[in-house]
């Protein structure tokens, strides 16, 4: 295992952002910048041994700073949506930014994806990676409490890219952290419609036209959201009224236990991804909003369906849905979440 850092660029206020590269003994290489905790690249040998970069992004910091799609970033304090940006805690109402009208999305105007994280490199016999830290101050983006956040990214020789999240607070607050990497297992050489996907979930959370859950849990059986068996992502995608997938799945698992929750495979590259998490839900997003106006790495134009996200999370709008798993964090508790993305190649 190898790990090293290099200069990546300067932020708008003149501070330095670095790029940290983790490489395992099989040539799998992940790169992360401490700006936004962004996963900028993940290079994996395909079935023929050709290296493919399987995440969308750019080669420079300036484009990540300007990005509005959350490519590769840590999302917080609250991943996904909160209805009208309002919640109540201890009989007090809190108003958050309405940055995707009429709702609050992914932490607000300046979420964790737009801040510079402190970091330290981990290089021990048992773990190779980096530890990111950020203090989100009381009432930052409208959230109560000084929130100390720690995220550890690590890679091993089995091709497992692990993300470990921890957070503590001095006031009761809501926390729902996730990562927003857009994956493409054909090396971003086309759309992801031929990718085959299985999600270990029999239910999802139906939502209104603004993507706020109604509060009910519904079966995926007999719907275009059914990925209980390996199914091409594009097989039913044109039936979706939203133009694609942007849905939260209720995982068939015990809360807080690390279990496999999804599989994705791509026929041309031979790459397969297995996803494990401790979280109760996962948001499937099929890059509906890309329209070819964004040029990413290699000047590839990111068009509709050029990536997929599997954002492990608690459910959207949980602060306003008492029946959903709680996202409340109290001062005497520690928030923790672990997610693993494991990529391997099927040899010819």
Are 226 and 237 in contact by the 8 Å Cβ rule? The answer is: no
Burial of 218-242, coded b for 16+ CB within 10 Å and e otherwise, reads eebeeebbbbeeebebeeebeeeee
Question: Which residue among 106, 266, 311, 314 is the active-site one?
Answer: 311
Asked if 286 contacts 192 with a C-beta cutoff of 8 angstroms, the reply is yes
Q: DSSP for 249-275?
A: EE-SS-TT--EEEEEEE-TTT-EEEEE
CB 135 within 8 A of CB 148: yes
CA gyration radius for the chain? Answer: 19
CB of 34 closer than 8 Å to CB of 18: yes
Active-site residue flag, 311: yes
Is the sign of the CA dihedral 331, 75, 193, 347 positive or negative? negative
Contact status, residue 21 vs residue 3, Cβ threshold 8 Å: yes
Sign of CA dihedral 236, 241, 246, 249: negative
Q: Which of 96, 101, 178 is nearest to 144 (CA)?
A: 96
DSSP three-state, residue 106 = coil
Which one of 106, 180, 195, 314 is the catalytic residue?
180
Phi/psi for 263 (5° steps) reads -135, 140
3-class DSSP state for residue 313?
strand
Taking phi over 0 as left and psi of -120 to 50 as alpha, with beta for the rest, 48 belongs to alpha
Active site residues per annotation: 180, 311
């Amino acid at each position: 295992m190898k790990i090293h850092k290099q200069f990546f660029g300067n932020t708008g206020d003149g501070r330095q952002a670095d790029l940290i590269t983790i490489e395992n003994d099989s040539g799998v290489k992940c790169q992360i910048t401490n700006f936004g905790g962004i996963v900028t690249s993940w290079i994996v040998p395909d079935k023929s041994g050709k290296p493919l970069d399987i995440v969308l992004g750019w080669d420079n910091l300036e484009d990540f700073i300007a990005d509005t799609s959350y490519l590769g970033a840590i999302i917080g304090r609250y991943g996904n949506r909160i209805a009208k940006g309002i919640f109540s805690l201890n009989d007090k109402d809190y108003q958050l930014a309405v940055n995707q009208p009429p709702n609050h999305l992914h932490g607000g105007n300046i979420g964790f994806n737009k801040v510079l994280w402190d970091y330290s490199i981990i290089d021990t016999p048992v773990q190779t990676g980096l530890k990111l830290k950020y203090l989100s101050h009381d009432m930052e983006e409208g959230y109560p409490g000084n929130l100390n956040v720690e995220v550890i990214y690590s890679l091993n020789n089995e091709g497992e890219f692990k993300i470990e999240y921890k957070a503590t607070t001095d006031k009761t607050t809501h926390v729902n952290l996730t990562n927003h990497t857009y994956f493409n297992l054909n090396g971003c050489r086309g759309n992801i419609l031929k990718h085959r996907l299985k999600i270990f979930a029999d239910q999802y959370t139906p939502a209104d036209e603004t993507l706020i859950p109604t509060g009910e849990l519904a079966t995926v059986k007999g719907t275009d959201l059914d990925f209980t068996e390996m199914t091409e992502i594009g097989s039913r995608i044109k039936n979706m009224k939203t133009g694609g997938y942007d849905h939260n799945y209720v995982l068939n698992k015990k809360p807080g236990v690390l279990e496999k929750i999804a599989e994705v495979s791509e026929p041309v590259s031979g790459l397969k991804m297995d996803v494990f998490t401790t979280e109760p839900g996962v948001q499937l997003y099929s890059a509906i909003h890309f329209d070819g106006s964004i040029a990413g790495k290699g000047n590839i134009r990111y068009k509709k369906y050029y990536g997929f996200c599997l954002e492990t999370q608690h459910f959207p709008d949980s602060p306003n849905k008492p029946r959903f798993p709680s996202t409340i964090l109290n001062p005497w508790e520690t928030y923790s979440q672990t997610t693993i993305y494991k990529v391997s190649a099927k040899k010819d």
